[in-house]
Chains A and B, each alone.
Chain A
Amino acid sequence: MIRVLTDWVKSSNKLERLWLLAKIEFKLRYYENKLGLFWALLKPILDICIYYVVFKVVLKSDVPAFASFLFIGLIIWNFFVESTVGTIQILSTKKYLYEYSNMNKLEIYVSTLMSNSIGFFFNFLMFLLFYNFIEGESLGLTIYNIWIVVLFVNLFILSLGMSLILSNIYVIAKDITQIWAVVTSFLFFLSPIFYSLKTFRNALPSFDYGNPIAGIIINARAIMLEGTNPDFTLLVWDIGYSIVLLIIGFIALNKLGSKAAEKL
Chain B
Amino acid sequence: MISMEKNYAIVAKNISKTFHISEDSHNTVKHRLFNLFNPPRRKLVQALKEISLEIEKGECIGLLGRNGCGKSTLVKLLAGVYPSDTGNIKITGSTMLMNLGVGMSHELTARENIYVSGSVLGLKIKEVDAIFDKIIDFAELSNFVDTKIKYFSSGMTARLGFSIAVNAGADIMFLDEIFAVGDVKFQEKAIKVFESSWIDGKTVILVSHSMDVIRKYCKRAAFMKNGELKFIGETNKAIELYLEDNH
Contact = CB atoms under 8 A, between A and B. Distances in A.
A98 B95 CA distance: 10
A99 B83 contact: no
A219 B108 CA distance: 39
A172 B122 CA distance: 31
Contacts of A100: 79, 81, 96-98, 102-103
B116 A24 contact: yes
Interface string B99-142: 00011110110001001100111111100000000000000000
Given A172-B27, A179-B29, A17 B119 contact: yes
Interface in A63-102: 96-102
B67 interface: no
A56 interface: no
A101 B115 contact: no
A174 B27 contact: yes
Contacts of A244: none
Nearest to B128: A20
Contacts of B104: 96
B80 interface: yes
Contacts of A21: 116, 119
Interface size range of chain A in the complex: 20 to 34
Contacts of A173: 27-29, 32
A6 interface: no
Interface string A135-161: 000000000000000000000000000
A28 interface: yes
Contacts of B119: 13, 16-17, 20-21
A19 to B, nearest CB: 9
B116 A16 contact: no
B147 interface: no
A100 B162 CA distance: 13
B120 A17 contact: yes
Nearest to B93: A102
B91 interface: yes
B103 A261 contact: no
A12 B105 CA distance: 24
Interface of B is mostly: loop
A99 B103 CA distance: 7
Nearest to B109: A24
Contacts of B170: 101
Interface in A91-117: 96-103
Given A98-B81, A102-B91, A13 B29 contact: no
Contacts of A103: 120
Contacts of A174: 27-28
A259 interface: yes
B28 A101 contact: no
A29 to B, nearest CB: 11
B113 to A, nearest CB: 9
A100 B119 CA distance: 14
Nearest to A21: B116
A4 to B, nearest CB: 13
Given A28-B107, A102-B91, A102-B94, A175 B29 contact: yes
Among A101, A103, A172, A175, max chain B CB count under 10 A is at A101
B103 A262 contact: no
B111 to A, nearest CB: 10
Given A17-B119, A173-B32, A259-B83, A24 B98 contact: no
A258 interface: yes
A262 B81 CA distance: 9
Contacts of B116: 20-21, 24, 97
Contacts of B80: 101-102
8 contacts: A16-B124, A20-B116, A98-B103, A100-B96, A100-B97, A100-B103, A102-B80, A261-B76
Given A98-B81, A261-B76, 8 more contacts: A16-B125, A28-B107, A96-B103, A97-B103, A100-B103, A101-B80, A103-B120, A175-B30
In the A-B complex, list the 3 residue pairs whose CB atoms are closest, starting with the nearest.
Answer: A102-B80, A100-B103, A175-B28
